[in-house]
Amino acid sequence: MVATGSGTQSGKAFYVTTPIYYVNDAPHLGHAYTTVAGDVLTRWHRQRGERVWFLTGTDEHGQKVLRTAESKGVSPQEWCDKLVEEAWKPLWRHLEIANDDFLRTTEKRHTDRVREFVQDLYDKGEIYKGGYEGPYCVGCEEYKLPGELLEGTGENAGKQLCPIHKRPVEILKEENYFFRLSEYADKLLAHYEANPGFIQPEPARNEVLSFVRQGLQDLSISRSTFDWGVPVPWDDEHVIYVWVDALLNYATAVGYNQNQETFDATFPADVHLIGKDILRFHAVIWPALLMANGLPLPGRVVANGWLLVGGEKMSKSNLTGISPRQITSHFGVDAFRWYLLRAIAYGQDGSFSWEDLAARYTSELANDYGNLASRVAAMVGKYFDGVLPAASADGDAERAVHDGLAKAVAEADRKIGDDVEFQAGLQAIFDFVKQVNGYISEQEPWKVAKDDSPQARARLATVLYTAAESLRAVAVLLHPFMPASSQRLWESLGAEPALGPLAGQRVQEAGQWGRLPAGSTVTKGAALFPRLEEQPGA
């Protein structure tokens, strides 16, 4: 689970976070989506040679988790311990998530620091006591504005529903502590203005802008009707509101008030990856809390869209949660990691579909990519006894491949590394794979092989070297998405030990032509992506 940053060890780390997930149930596809995105983004930056820190974790306090535990007849702590150890952490290991840390909000390293942060705000006069009555959604753990609610129908007729969970809200009336959020509207707007890339994508930014422009209400930051939470330091009748507790994980996990050196070398996050359902917490409340405490603001908040099932957000409470293991047992972990980022533009909603997954798997992974790898290895085996020949007769066709690679690397690096647009980055990489397939079809090495003349042998060597060298680069570019198959391809190209371990390869160097040494031993291993009918359980 632990990965270390590579490259320069000085300066601030590139710090990426996922939301910390509620442990009211086992993870489903929607949770895995954001986590895989975070893993790919951090692996990409590691391959750029940057020092990287990738944080994920679990959000364990609050009414939502408490009620689930009560319904199961166990204490909330027991419930969380079991789920985290038996469901969440094992799934991330299974999906090859290389997080550097996993924070649980019930850990002392977190709760102590949360109390200190809130005490600090209190001492600064940012918190006061007041009363509030309003509609509350336990699913969101949030007071709703009356204008946002939906009118219930059927069994919920006459009730008002949360627009996300489609469940009746509860009217809560409490005497609470409040954070002076209303005073931050102008400062937030100034920040959005000065940093147009702060909220991504554009529709998410627009939503936040229009929300904040209407003015902000102060935020209730404590609860007194239940006690599953971090006690308010100056009043233990109250626990800290679960969202304030949760947001602070991004600071407490990296040394806030504990290890200044680590904190300065990591905080703030460069990218907070979140789902669009929790945008306001990250783009409004979180920066306001940081401003209030004089801490630096994150670089970017990047919201992914919803995975939909039947047009609704996939969720366990709607009984539409799909377990990632259902997918990996059939298609493998690599295809799982690749598919959602390939099929859906990051930031937009998308429907999960088994048919689409099967079709893309077959056409792009098994046919375009996997077949290319096995054909090239087979031909080097057949025509050169598995020893990669040198290219000695580069012509226009080869130069077009070299240019195609350089273009693919630059485009993928910009789209994935800079813009957090995975789909466009993958498009560039797979366009290159298509180009190499086209090159082989045109060059017809199997025909060239029929001629024994020295010119024909040189031509054959050049075509096969060009294809193998292209695959070397593709293995590097796809490694953040599909670590296991890239590794197998790398080994089959015989690049190791001549080129060193795949994990140490730099994105920037992927496009430098000629890095795969002639003389490497090329072996044809098992198919990178077996045909679906050949997979167990098909």
Q: Rule CB under 6 A: is residue 274 a binding residue for ligand MSP?
A: yes
Shortest approach of ligand MSP to residue 308 CB, angstroms?
7
- What does the alpha-carbon distance between residue 470 and residue 437 come to, in Å, rounded to a whole number? 10
Q: Does residue 142 belong to the site contacting ligand MSP (CB under 6 A)? A: no
Buried b / exposed e along 208-220 (16+ C-beta atoms within 10 A): beebbeeebebbb
Strand (E) or helix (H) holding 134: strand 127-137
Chosen residue from 59, 126, 174, 413 binding ligand MSP by CB under 6 A: 59
- The SS3 of residue 172 is strand
Q: State in angstroms the smallest separation of the CB of 85 from ligand MSP.
A: 17
C-alpha distances (whole Å) from 393 to each of 29, 103, 257, 363 are 49, 56, 63, 32
Among 15, 22, 44, 422, binds ligand MSP (CB under 6 A): 22
Name the phi and psi angles at 518, rounded to 5: -60, 145
Residues binding ligand MSP: what is the number (CB under 6 A)?
Answer: 22
Specify the stretch interacting with ligand MSP by CB under 6 A; choose among 87-95, 124-132, 270-278, 465-473: 270-278
**Toward ligand MSP, which CB reaches closer, 40 or 460?**
40
Query: Exposure pattern of 28-40 as b/e (b: 16+ CB <10 Å)?
Result: bbbbbbbbbbbbb
Identified catalytic residue from 137, 238, 272, 276: 137
Under the binding rule (CB under 6 A), the answer on residue 267 touching ligand MSP is no
DSSP state of 281: I
- The reply on whether position 277 binds ligand MSP by CB under 6 A is yes
CB of 87 to ligand MSP, least distance (A): 12
Taking the complex as a whole, the smallest distance from the CB of residue 393 to ligand MSP amounts, in Å, to 51
Query: Strand 222-223's sheet: what is its strand order?
Result: 222-223, 235-240, 231-232
H/E stretch holding 468: helix 454-478
Q: How far is the CB of 242 from ligand MSP (least distance, A)?
A: 8
Report 310-339 residues binding ligand MSP (CB under 6 A): 313-315
E-state strands within 202-336: 219-220, 222-223, 231-232, 235-240, 271-275, 300-304, 307-309, 312-313
HSE of 528, CA atoms in CB hemisphere, 13 A: 34
CB atoms within 10 A of CB 340: 24
Write phi, then psi, for 176 (nearest 5 degrees): -130, 175
Stretch touching ligand MSP by CB under 6 A, among 44-52, 307-315, 359-367, 518-526: 307-315
Task: Give, in order, the Cα–Cα distances in Å from 230 to each of 123, 162, 248, 467.
Answer: 18, 26, 12, 59
- Whether 316 is catalytic: yes
Binders of ligand MSP in range 29-58 (CB under 6 A):
30-31, 33-34
Q: Considering only residues 80, 246, 401, 478, which one is a binding residue for ligand MSP as defined by CB under 6 A?
A: 246
Pick between residue 92 and residue 490 the one whose CB is nearest to ligand MSP: 92
The single residue of 110, 276, 282, 313 carrying the catalytic annotation is 313
**Residue 165 beta carbon to ligand MSP: minimum distance, rounded to whole angstroms:** 10
Contacts with ligand MSP by CB under 6 A lie at 19-22, 30-31, 33-34, 59, 246-247, 249, 274-275, 277-278, 304, 306-307, 313-315
* Residues annotated as part of the active site: 28, 31, 137, 140, 162, 165, 313, 316
